[in-house]
Amino acid sequence: LDNNNLQDLFPDIHNCSALVRLSLSNNLFLCLPHQLARISSLSKLVLDNNPLTSPPLEIRSSGTAKILDYLRRFDNAFSTRYLDLENMGLQAFPLEVAALTGLRGLNIAGNQIEVLPTVIANLQGLELLKIDNNRMQLLPVELGNICGLKELTFEGNDLRTPPSEILEQGTFSIVEYLKRMLWSRKNKELDLRSLQLRRTPVEVAFMTGLTKLSLASNHLQKIFVGIGQLTLLVELLLDDNEIQTLPLTVGKLTNLTTLSVAHNKIKHLSEWLHTLIPLTSLNVSDNLLQELPFTLLRLTNITHLNVDSNSYPDPPREVVTSGQKRIFRYLSNLQTSQTTNRLDLNSMGLLRFPLVHCSRTALTALNLDDNELQDLPHELMALTNLTSITVKRNRLTRLDLRLGYLSHLETFETEG
């Protein structure tokens, strides 16, 4: 059949049961029909000078027996719904596989395939996928569309994504991860909560169109520096991890309106915090914070602030739990006192005087009016430059006589 510009063979070619040699040179064939494999007598195929794409070149160059073996496997798949292409020497995923939409199982193990193409998502009925011992470094997110996939084997590949902690959890977690990654392409929101992640997946740094990112309820100890590239983020949720510090690059997320890092191990809030001007909600509760920075005062759009359950001695718990307005007023008064040496803590709901301020020996005036104080600590004696103390409208029941050693004290008011 040489030199005829043929594109297809007649449908009943497989009925040529005595055919031994078939020459199709110098035609226009793009693919060979799988029915050829049914001709048991066929031992020689001549295919020169055709624009063939299937079988792949590596199959065609291995001779007639290999070609017929390849076609036979496809022919069997139509009845068994299982395509076995293991150890076929394939260098790329055969795209014709994607047309077998009825497949339940696919085995491409033991080849040299580097990429699993996105058309794999056409196999919606796939329940078993074997890709062991290839050269793949990633799984396409489109696998997340195959919701019925029950078993995925991938040993012998150097997979970089999904992360190893996802791969260790097995097929269900892998498909779930890929499904979430795929979904983020559509709605620009990536939810990676509760996936037992130990590190941020490297591909997240390149998802620059994201507006919302949740990495909550994992096992992260740090956040990747590349997060600063996600400049469109408006919501970042990092709760319930083991994070000890936030990278400086978070300060580049100048569109953030919500930042939540509750239930971590953070000891300090970075100075870059003031760059997050649009922030309306900040939750840093249940961490190991030693103090609240004055930079909080520059977040003028904050409407929800939770800094409860931390380690700092100041502000006192009664201030922290009484709401944002009092917290901000407390911090503002502390900041002012650094230049005036006059500390105003009136109407703060204080149950005890914060001992941390007893080391501020430059203070000259102390206003503790309208609190719930029952006594004044003797540690105030260290504030030797005090000239004025006012503790009106408290619940004082006694005063430590040692306060009389404050030699510069001129005013001491305790009315009410």
Helix (H, G, I), strand (E, B) or coil at 412: strand
Percent of the chain topping pLDDT 70:
100
Give per-residue pLDDT as tens, 70-116. Answer: 999 999 999 999 999 999 999 999 999 999 999 999 999 999 999 99
Q: Which of 2, 76, 78, 92 is nearest to 38 (CA)?
A: 76
* Residue 109 and residue 130 in contact, taking contact as beta carbons nearer than 8 Å: yes
Cα–Cα distances in angstroms (integers) from residue 171 to residues 45, 117, 132, 144, 247, in the given order: 41, 18, 14, 11, 33
Helix (H, G, I), strand (E, B) or coil at 413: strand
Residue 416: predicted pLDDT: 65
Residue 405: predicted pLDDT: 87
Angstrom distance (rounded) from CA 237 to CA 216: 6
Helix (H, G, I), strand (E, B) or coil at 166: helix
Instruction: Kindly report the average pLDDT of the chain as a whole number.
Output: 94
* Residue 390 and residue 367 in contact, taking contact as beta carbons nearer than 8 Å: yes
Give per-residue pLDDT as tens, 358-371. Answer: 999 999 999 999 99
Q: Which of 223, 29, 26 is nearest to 13 (CA)?
A: 29
Give per-residue pLDDT as tens, 57-82. Answer: 999 999 999 999 999 999 999 999 99
| Residues contacting 66, CB < 8 A, separation 6+ | 59, 88
Residue 104: predicted pLDDT: 97
β-bridge mates for residue 413, sequence order: 390
What's the whole-number mean pLDDT along residues 392-415? Answer: 89
What's the whole-number mean pLDDT along residues 175-181? Answer: 97
* Residue 144 and residue 178 in contact, taking contact as beta carbons nearer than 8 Å: yes
Q: Where are the alpha helices (DSSP H) in 293-390?
A: 317-320, 324-340
Residue 14: predicted pLDDT: 77
Main-chain dihedrals φ then ψ at residue 52, nearest 5 degrees: -65, 135
At residue 404 the predicted structure's pLDDT band, cuts being 50, 70 and 90, is confident
* Residue 256 and residue 279 in contact, taking contact as beta carbons nearer than 8 Å: yes
How many helices (H) and strands (E) in the chain? Answer: 6, 16
- The single-letter DSSP state of residue 46 is E
Give per-residue pLDDT as tens, 282-339. Answer: 999 999 998 899 999 999 999 999 999 998 888 999 999 998 999 999 999 999 999 9
Residue 13: predicted pLDDT: 82
